[in-house]
Chain A
C-alpha cells in the first residue's frame, strides 16, 4: 500500500473512505460468507429501528470514528450468523454483538490505515439504539456509505476530526 501524505487532508479523508469500504467488505464477507456490495451514499432517511455501534481510532493528529448501523432485520440475521444462535433485537446481547462487529471492523480498518503510515489505537465501542442518528464533530469531515448484503442493509458513517474533540472511551480506562 502506498504511503500517504498525511499533511494533505483531502488525501487522508479519501484514503480513510477507501479503507473503511475495504474493511466493511472484508469483515462482513468473513461473517456472512458473501461480499456486501457498496451502494453509494444511501438514503439519509432510514426509517425504522436500528442499532448502531460506534468506535474510534485515535492517532496523534486525528480521530477516525465509525458508526456502524444495522436495521432491525439485518441485526437479527447478522447476530445469528456471527454468534451461532438467535439473539433478540431488544436484548442486551444484541448490543454486545454489534459492539463486537464494530470492534472487528475497526481492527481491519486500523490495520489498513497502518499500512498507509497512519498509526492509531482503537477505542472501546459504544452502542446506541434509534434511527437517523448522526455524529457531529466540530471541524470534522463526515461521509455516509451503504452496502447491501444477503442478510440486509449495512450503513456506515465515517467521521474524522481533531483528537481534542474525541469523546470515546479508551481501552483500559
Chain B
C-alpha cells in the first residue's frame, strides 16, 4: 500500500482521532499523520514538500478551515495537494463556497462512516502523484548563484 502524508486539521482532538482511525480502516493508503488544532496551527505545519493530502474542519478558533484552505490555494504550486473539508456545515451554499471559492476538492459531512470516506477519497487518493523525494532543481550550487531551491 502506498504511503501518504496527511495533515488533519480540527480543533477537536477526538475528531482528529476519528478521522485518522477511519482513514486507517478505509485502507486507501498507509497514512502518516500530522495534526493541527486550527487554521493558524495548520499554516505553520503545512509544507507542500511534506504533505500529500489535507483534511480540514471548517469552524475552528483563530482561523477557520475555510480561510486556511483559501490561503494555501493562493499559491498555485499547492494545487496538486487534495483538500477535503470534514465538517458539520451542511448547507448547499457552504459546500459550494468550500469547493468553488476556497478550492477544496471534496466535502464530507460529519458524522461519517468508513464507506463515506472510501467513496469520496478513492479517486482523489489514486490521483495523488508519486513523490520522488528528490529536491526539484536547486541544491547548494543553485542557491549559490541565486537559483530557486
- How many A-B pairs fall under 8 Å by CB? 70
Q: A172-B62, A172-B63 are contacts. A93–B13 as well, Cβ < 8 Å?
A: yes
Specify which chain B residues have a CB less than 8 angstroms from the CB of A104 in the assembled complex.
Answer: 88, 110-111
Q: Mark A105-129, 1 if CB is under 8 A from B, else 0.
A: 0111011001000010011100000
Query: A169 CA to B15 CA in the complex, in Å?
Result: 20
Does B60 belong to the interface (CB within 8 Å)? yes
Specify which of A84, A87, A104, A171 lies most central, judged by the most chain B CB atoms within 10 Å of its CB.
A171
Q: Chain A's interface: helix, strand, loop or mixed, by majority? A: helix
Partner-B contacts on A (CB < 8 A): 30-31, 82-84, 87, 93, 96-97, 99-100, 103-104, 106-108, 110-111, 114, 119, 122-124, 169, 171-173
Q: List 28 A-B contacts (CB under 8 A).
A: A83-B17, A84-B18, A84-B21, A96-B12, A96-B13, A100-B14, A100-B15, A100-B88, A100-B110, A106-B88, A107-B87, A107-B88, A107-B90, A111-B90, A114-B91, A119-B91, A122-B59, A122-B88, A124-B61, A171-B58, A171-B60, A171-B61, A171-B64, A172-B39, A172-B62, A172-B67, A173-B61, A173-B62
